[in-house]
Structure 1
Amino acid sequence: MSRIQPLRDEDVVDRIGADLRSAGYTTDGVADLLGDTANEALGRGIWWPALHATAAGAAANARLSSLVRLFLLGADEPETAVAEAFPSVTVDVLVDNGVLERTDAGEVRAALDIRPHADDAREYLVVSDQDAAMRSGPVARDHVLGIGGASISLARAVIRAPARRVLDIGTGCGIQALHLDAHSDEIVATDTNARALALAAATARLNGMRWDLRQGSLFDPVAGERFDLIVSNPPFVVGAGEQDYIYRDSGVAGDALCAELIRRIPEHLNPGGTAQILANWIVPTDAEWTERVRGWLAGTGLDAWVVQRELADPVSYIALWLSDAGESSEAVAQRGAQWLDWFTESDIAGIGMGLITLRRRIDGEAGEPDQVVEEITGAGEEVTGHEAEAFLARRHYLRTTTDAQLLAARLSTAPIFLEEQSLPGEQGWQQVSATVRRPGGPAAVLGVDEVSRALLAGCRGEVPLAALIELLADFHGVDADALAEAALPVVREAIGRGILYQAT
């Protein structure tokens, strides 16, 4: 049974926000209170240095110390200290609104997770349920996740171009909507979980935002509507179809929810609009993972960039999702065994995890959908919004630029490194391969030989590509047309990876 929805009183939310801000409950305020060592440790999930730091800092800022212990460390606090931390609202009202709860020992503990969060633009306050590490026993079926690695990855990957209407499917506590607010005129956020919508409403109000919150699955709450941007961090966990926890389990078997989400996006995306989805997909024992995801894209008419960031074996995948629910060892063992049996019976070799970026073409754009499906797992090669936007722009440039136009273009080389691999031999070090790499670019690496190295070095935006090729052809004593035919695929690949670009 779902719990009574928290923070029903908007006036209470406003007073909570005012009290938190007046106490300095921000990312910088918490960092200053804890100090570098304890704050960095807390970011890695090590809580006891922060507890020690709040005790030491209580004299300087007792209110902030109490708030940190309550909401960030899950500690029990004396009621008098909590009353001082919230001068504008009583403890009784906070308990009634589901923010706090009283313990048998006569103290008070947080029933919700309220924490500061920041990006390059501003500070936020985010309301969610406390995770299993903060409480004893399993989380509730309608548990609402807070800020996590997946939600931050998606937020960083979203293209931040101005948009009139945006849709956040599976909003949870509202992390994506928070970041969408800075560049969107209207935000519609949906979730099947009524508790999630209640906490998202509180998150929005604490941050002075207004979102159109609707309950329902996938696109059901927005039937007939279109958007310029769609984002989603859905309950994508691959399993037999149970729905033990709403935040992770879709209630449909396998990866069917993600497949359905992709299938329905075209009817809700404006021409020129984009969609960015976190997804998990089944990797069968007898097929490539790319085949499955390409099957999702078939018939959509959408341009796509699918990036698999991780591939997990069944045991690792199951362990990952069983670890955050707070269940007993016996329950974990039983559920894990059943889950693993289902994977075996379904001939699943592993689960792919990654990001899908989609674009609906503007009316009149010709050609077949441009769909790139690849694995990029390197550290520091995560997809960012800037890289996703640039990737789509580069693919459009390559589709709409003929070889003749490319030869006439003046190209520049992005900041890149030349990396050479050599082996020791009888004549000393002998080079066996060479690559150029654009730091920070997802898969922005290209193998080069002597000629392509020289070509890249010569691309300074000063002369047409054809002129550079003619110079190289003369130097090496080869036919210029033949060299151009061989060089153009390399040039196109370099443009596609952001290593080359047309100078303006």
Structure 2
Amino acid sequence: MTGLPCRDLAVVDRLAAGLRAVGFTTDGIEAHLGAEVSAALTGGVRWPALASVEDDRPLSTLIAVFLLGEPRPAADLATALPGVDPRDLAAQGIVALTPGGEVSPILDVRPYADDAGEYLVFADQDAGRRAGALAGDHVLGIGGASVSLARAVIRRPVQRALDLGTGCGVQALHLGAHSAQIVATDTNERALALAAATARASGQSWDLRRGSLFEPVADETFDLIVSNPPFVIGSGDQDYIYRDSGVPADGLCAQLIAGLPDRLNPGGVATVLANWVVTDVEDWAARPRQWLAGTGLDAWVVQRELADPVSYVSLWLADAGESPERAARRGRDWLAYFDEAGIVAIGMGVLTLRRPVDGRVRFQVVEEITGAGEEVTGDEAQAFLDRQDFLAEHSDAELLGMRLAAMPVMLEEQSLLGEDGWQTVGSAVRRPGGPGATIALDEVSRALLVGCRGQVELADLIALLAAHHGVDADALASAAMPVVRDAIARGILYRAV
């Protein structure tokens, strides 16, 4: 087979119908394999599933071929998919037929579900399920980055959405639940072909366009933009389209951020995954702050990981499945480029960006949040924007006149063992499940937080505390307001109704 895969969407239709008819769905596969084996497969551990599909049951055959990358007799595949001719699948680059009468998988075709529906995703097999290095136009399937981005997107109804760098179409699938119109772009023609198959098999319709960054959308604007771009930091070579932009260092991400203000409608939001160069680990935020300067965008930038060059390069070398010799040569050159460019670390994270309706920037927060379970979610991102708006719209004097209440939070204390027993040396309050939802407390702020039950105005509460501690109420208010604002920003305090 030559050319692009899945050109005949009628074959895609028949394949999708056949797969669903025999229970090739997320629930069906879990029931077939068992919850533990299914969870292991989702996590990238294949051997339990391999041991579970050694029989010739139809669903075993389909799991082996499309999820595990295992060859099976063509007759077994034909039996598992009545009405689907393996020769048609081969003609569309979905499987290959061997002289021995077996089908050898080319594509990864897998069910995928969210709260809105069940889908089928067409992508290339990853390095763990095929021999040799990936092709230059390899199309990634569902991975950790795509799932993280999908979770971080604010899911509100919008008219027009753009998936920039769609790949196999995972982000566009999610957009289908709350977007009236979806434009999805990619520079990789193979990616667009597989995205078209993903959309067709999942009952969706997208406007697919080929081109780099915002070129395919000219001067159009959108209410929501999501992007998982080829953000890998390198010298500017483009060995693998899915990861290498062809632009040195983090230049592509810089261009993407710079182009957002003109492509977002007022009030529009963009959620972007990005990597950025770090030349001083003590000032890791320098590059994303540089990206934001002059954009006129509200921003919440969260660094989830700071990688050293060796770890970073090792990650991406393993991802490509190259031979040890080729990987060693590429790694040597890669590290030499980092050294020459003065890159001592690479920041990795998610950016939530918004074009203000009135053109007035209210906040640009760049912070590091690395805790497990503190990943950015769409709900938390929307709440963060709302809280920042609230703070921008209310002065300290107005806050002092409000009744504030605390969310369900946990007090965490750090103690040292001394001659007199345990001595508390620090304390903080945490809102469980919120990214970065922690603030340090001293004795007064601890007491202030206890008093925030939505019953007393903040000014009166501070006055009571001032009288108890024998200090000036105005001075205490001035000292307390930064803590109060931080607590509101982190979703720990809120205005009681």
Mark the CA change 1:287 to 1:500 in structure 2 (over 3 Å): closer, same or farther: closer
* 2: CA distance, partners of 1:425 / 1:417: 25
How far, CA to CA, are the matches of 1:104 and 1:284 in structure 2?
55
> Structure 1 unaligned runs (5+)?
none
Following the alignment from structure 2 to structure 1, what is the Cα–Cα distance between the partners of residues 413 and 209?
55
- What residue identity is the alignment partner of 1:36? A
Does the CA-based 8 Å contact 1:416-1:436 persist in structure 2?
yes
In the alignment, is the contact (CA less than 8 A) between 1:421 and 1:431 conserved in 2? yes
CA distance in 2: counterparts of 1:249 and 1:129, whole angstroms: 17
Q: Of the candidates 356, 379, 382, which is equivalent to residue 389 of structure 1? A: 382
1:477 and 2:488 correspond:
no
Q: Deviations over 1:229-262 (max 9, x none)?
A: 1110000111111110100000111100000000
Q: 8 Å contact 1:421–1:434 — kept in the other structure?
A: yes
The alignment partner of 1:324 has SS state of: helix
Given the two structures, how large is their TM-score scaled by the length of structure 2?
0.98
Matched residue of 1:392: which SS?
A: helix
Give deviations 1:434-467, integer Å, cap 9, x for gaps: 1100111111111112221111111112221112
Shift of 1:79: 1.0
SS in 1 for 2:425: strand
Q: What secondary structure, in the 3-state scheme, does the structure 1 residue paired with 2:320 have? A: coil
Establish whether residue 21 from structure 1 lines up as the match of residue 20 from structure 2: yes
Name the residue aligned to 2:59. 64
Pairwise CA RMSD: 1.4
How many angstroms does 1:103 deviate by? 2.5
Match of 2:437 in 1: 444
**What residue is the counterpart of 2:236 in the other structure?**
241
8 Å Cα contact 1:33-1:54 kept in structure 2: no
Q: For the residues of structure 2 that align with 1:110 and 1:337, how far apart are their CA atoms?
A: 34
Could you tell me whether the CA contact under 8 Å between 1:193 and 1:215 is conserved in 2? yes
Task: Work out whether 1:318 is the aligned partner of 2:313.
Answer: yes
The amino acid of 2:116's aligned partner reads: A
Identity among equivalent pairs (%): 63
The residue aligned with 2:452 is: 459
Q: Which runs of 4+ in 1 moved over 6 A?
A: none
Q: Where does residue 151 of structure 2 map in the other structure?
A: 156
1:298–1:3 Cα change, 3 Å: farther
Q: Which residue of 2 is the match for residue 202 of structure 1?
A: 197
Which residue of 109, 112, 115 corresponds with 1:117?
Answer: 112
User: Where does residue 192 of structure 1 map in the other structure?
Assistant: 187
Q: Is 1:33 the equivalent of 2:32?
A: yes
Matches of 1:503 and 1:4 in 2, distance apart?
62
Q: Which residues of 2 match residues 353-432 of structure 1 at below 5 A?
A: 353-363=348-358, 366=360, 368-432=361-425
Q: Structure 2: how far apart are the matches of 1:472 and 1:180? A: 50
Aligned to 2:44: 45
Q: Secondary structure at the match of 1:160?
A: coil
Q: Which residue of 1 aligns with 2:215?
A: 220
Deviation of 1:207 (Å) = 0.9
For structure 2, list consecutive stretches of 5 or more residues without a partner in the other structure.
none
Q: Deviations over 1:152-189 (max 9, x none)?
A: 00000000011110101000000000011111111100
For residues 33 and 55 of structure 1, the distance between their equivalents in structure 2, rounded to whole angstroms, comes to 12
Q: What's 1:138 paired with?
A: 133
**Quick check: 1:243–1:251 contact (8 Å CA) kept in 2?**
yes
State the Cα distance separating 1:120 from its structure 2 match.
2.4
Partners of 1:93 and 1:3 lie apart in 2 by 14
- Does the 8 A contact of 1:412 with 1:461 survive in 2? yes
Shift in Å at residue 369 of structure 1? 4.7
Q: Which amino acid aligns with 2:157?
A: P
What letter matches 1:116 in structure 2?
P
What TM-score, normalized by structure 1, do the two folds share? 0.96
Structure 1 residues 33-86: Cα deviation after superposition (integer angstroms, max 9, x where no partner): 111232222223221211221235x4xxx1111100001111110111000122
Partner of 2:334: 339
SS in 2 for 1:12: helix
Q: Is the 8 A contact 1:168 1:177 kept in 2?
A: yes
Residue 477 of structure 1 aligns with an amino acid whose one-letter code is: G
3-state SS in 2 of match to 1:348:
coil
Describe the SS at the equivalent of 1:172: coil
Partner of 1:88: 83
Paired positions, count:
497
Q: Could you tell me how far apart the structure 1 residues matched to 2:309 and 2:85 are? A: 49
Q: Tell me the amino acid that sits aligned with residue 502 of structure 1.
A: R
Hey, what's the Cα distance between the residues in 1 that align with 2:99 and 2:301? 51
